[in-house]
């Protein structure tokens, strides 16, 4: 008689134990990069000085610790976590391992709103830029949703992806026209579009955090639907899944999380693309485990790259968006070559 023991699924207790160790390791990694972000930078400070300034902000006369490193650390954690979760939801919704959170036109909408703010209103303050980016990202997502709805294709990811690509191309064309027709707008856009945590303050957290929290709640609510969608549309429908509701909740999560991240730091690539793959290799494909793991991986990757940018640039730091473009491309090619990108 052939034993079927090897075909039986692992008990839940064993799955939890296997998941707990990678998640604990990721938490430790987050703590390590937080310490590195606070201790390292273009300005050389001893650990004792950094600790003293953290405990007594009045001693931070040069505003290196509380004026720069603390905000960059907090914002790096928030942006990395948002992009990591948004990427996991996006790949689960489209069943495309190469899907990126910006596919729904969120980044393009935020960029156009910022450019219009500079071109028309003449404003370039950090807080105003943040609100403009949030508004532009949300409007672009609504437009993509509306275009896809005209074809009654919301139950399928393909119309949404096509609509997102088309709207993104249209918004990028308008943005390019505006920045090329005005030098002031081009200068402001060049600073914002590269993606950076430098020069940001904690004021942006108050504006972006509500969007990020609501997006995280929607992503968590979408986790079970994403597991069902991974079985295929027909089987998901047969199991009683409401495809329209699942798409809407997922789209809302992607929009809010990406909008919050882009508004704070500008468009940053590769985090939302690679973080879910790294997390999936650690905890598996169940979205109940994958989403928190992706948040932790995204935070570690973004903050680590920000620290690298501070150290390799000398007194003129390299933006985290540039570091991610270089390192992210290399890492993603390595992931592909090792066969880590599996069909979803």
pTM given for the model: 0.85
* Structure token pair of residue 186: 């081009």
Handedness of CA 180, 116, 208, 82 (dihedral sign): negative
* Most confident listed range (97-111, 152-166, 229-243, 252-266): 252-266
15 class by beta-carbon count within 10 Å (0-12 exposed, 13-18 middle, 19+ buried): middle
Percentage of the chain exceeding pLDDT 90: 18
Is there a contact between 302 and 320 (Cβ–Cβ < 8 Å)? yes
Are 257 and 212 in contact, with CB atoms under 8 Å apart? yes
Both tokens of 254, joined, read 């992607």
CB atoms within 10 A of CB 187: 12
- Which architecture characterizes domain 46-337 according to CATH? Orthogonal Bundle (1.10)
**Tens of pLDDT, residues 109-141:** 888 888 888 888 777 676 787 788 888 888 888
**Cα–Cα distance, 278 to 318 (Å, whole number):** 25
Sorted by where each begins, the domain ranges of the chain are 46-337
Instruction: Return the higher-pLDDT residue of 88 and 11.
Output: 88
Angstrom CA distances, 257 to 105, 140, 216, 236, 264, stand at 13, 14, 7, 25, 11
C-alpha dist (Å) from residue 268 to 72, 83, 128: 15, 9, 19
Please tell me the distance from the alpha carbon of residue 108 to that of residue 223, in angstroms, as a whole number.
Answer: 26
Is residue 213's pLDDT more than 60?
A: yes
DSSP string of 214-261? HHHHHHHHHHHHHHHHTT-HHHHHHTT--HHHHHHHHHHHHHHHHHHH
6 falls in which pLDDT band (50, 70, 90)? very low
pLDDT greater than 90 at residue 82: yes
Crossing angle between the packed helical segments 183-193 and 157-180, to the nearest 10 degrees: 140
d(CA 133, CA 36): 29
**Total count of residues recorded for the chain:** 344
């Amino acid at each position: 008689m052939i034993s079927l023991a090897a075909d039986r699924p692992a008990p839940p207790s064993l799955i939890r134990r296997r998941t707990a160790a990678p998640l604990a390791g990721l938490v430790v990694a987050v703590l390590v990069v937080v310490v590195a972000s606070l201790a390292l930078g273009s300005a050389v400070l001893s650990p004792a000085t950094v600790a003293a300034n953290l405990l007594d902000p009045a001693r931070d006369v040069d505003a290196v610790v509380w004026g720069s490193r603390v905000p960059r650390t907090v914002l790096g954690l928030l942006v990395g976590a948002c992009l990591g979760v948004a990427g996991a939801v996006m790949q689960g919704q489209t069943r495309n391992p190469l899907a990126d959170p910006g596919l729904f036109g969120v980044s393009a909408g935020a960029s156009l709103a910022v450019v219009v703010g500079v071109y028309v209103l003449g404003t370039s303050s950090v807080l105003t830029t943040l609100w403009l980016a949030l508004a532009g990202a949300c409007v672009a997502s609504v437009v993509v949703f509306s275009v896809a709805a005209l074809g009654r294709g919301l139950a399928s990811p393909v119309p949404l992806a096509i609509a997102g690509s088309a709207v993104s191309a249209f918004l990028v064309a308008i943005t390019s026209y505006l920045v090329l027709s005005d030098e002031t707008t081009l200068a402001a856009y060049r600073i914002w579009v590269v993606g950076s945590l430098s020069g940001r303050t904690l004021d942006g957290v108050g504006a972006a955090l509500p969007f990020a929290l609501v997006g995280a709640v929607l992503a968590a609510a979408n986790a079970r639907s994403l597991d069902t969608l991974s079985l295929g549309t027909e089987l998901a429908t047969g199991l009683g899944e409401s495809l329209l509701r699942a798409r809407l909740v997922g789209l809302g999560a992607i929009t809010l999380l990406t909008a919050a991240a882009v508004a704070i730091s500008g468009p940053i690539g590769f985090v939302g693309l690679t973080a879910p793959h790294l997390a999936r290799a650690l905890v598996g494909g169940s979205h109940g485990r994958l989403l928190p793991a992706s948040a932790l991986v995204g935070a570690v990757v973004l903050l680590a790259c920000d620290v690298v940018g501070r150290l390799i640039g000398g007194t003129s730091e390299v933006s985290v968006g540039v570091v991610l473009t270089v390192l992210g491309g290399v890492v993603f090619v390595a992931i592909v070559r090792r066969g880590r990108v599996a069909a979803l």
